[in-house]
Amino acid sequence: MSKARAKKIKLLLLDVDGVMTDGKIFLFPAPSGAVQSLRAATKRKAGSGGFAISSDAMIEAKGFNAHDGAGFSIARLGGIKTGIITRRISETVRLRAQDLKIEHVYQGAADKLAAFHEILAKENLKPEEAAFVGDDVIDLPVMRNCGLAFAVANAREDVKDEAHVITDHRGGEGAVRDAIEYILKAQGSLHRCVEAYIAGHTTLEDEQP
């Protein structure tokens, strides 16, 4: 049943904290002015319910997984578009999304389902053509409405209960790569995409680990 759902997927959407990362958030002292863009983003999201560190003295950092990074290039070779929907606002996430050429970046999204439908409208896709990877209860509205719902191995139990697939790896440890490979394998294109990636049929800009 899940493999049948995976065959229809054209878009993979992700939470960030606990999915692309292990959920840890690091706060470091920052030079004056280093977080101006983040502060501006926070002001633009005022009233949206998003969260952000807004301080001239601190900057937020996260750790990402190299296997997941390669997975985004492999997904692109398979014709799968990607996006993130997260409640937090982070300059680190913006930079990572830019490096990975993620098509849709929604930060400060208190209503993840609304963001989901907005992305579908932009791509002219049906809900059953989109997958979502989540880890906590705020992700459930999208997971209940998408075509294929993934829960990472470290997800809350009630999130796992509603997922179609649970990844082998934890968030920040290759869970996104698991989801990408599951979809491409179901579509019969995983081997071809991996071989193309190995052969270097992506640009250097695409290969961001």
pLDDT tens column, 94-145:
999 999 999 999 999 989 999 999 999 999 999 999 999 999 999 999 999 9
Domain boundaries of the chain, sorted by first residue: 2-23+64-198, 26-59
The crossing angle, in degrees rounded to 10, of helices 66-77 and 190-198 is 110
In sign, the C-alpha dihedral spanning 31, 107, 19, 78 is negative
Q: Are 89 and 51 in contact (CB under 8 A)?
A: yes
Dist CA 12 CA 196 (whole Å)? 20
The DSSP secondary structure of 85-105, one letter per residue, reads E-SEE-HHHHHHHHHTT-SEE
Dist CA 50 CA 42 (whole Å)? 8
Tell which CATH classification among 3.30.910.10, 3.40.50.1820, 3.40.50.1000, 3.40.50.720 matches the domain 2-23+64-198.
3.40.50.1000
For 19-42, what is the mean pLDDT? 63
Residues whose CB is less than 8 angstroms from the CB of residue 33 and which lie 6 or more positions away in sequence, other chains included: 56
This model's pTM is above 0.75: yes
Dist CA 17 CA 24 (whole Å)? 7
Q: Can you tell me whether residue 73 is helix, strand or coil?
A: helix
pLDDT single digits (tens) 63-75: 788 999 999 999 9
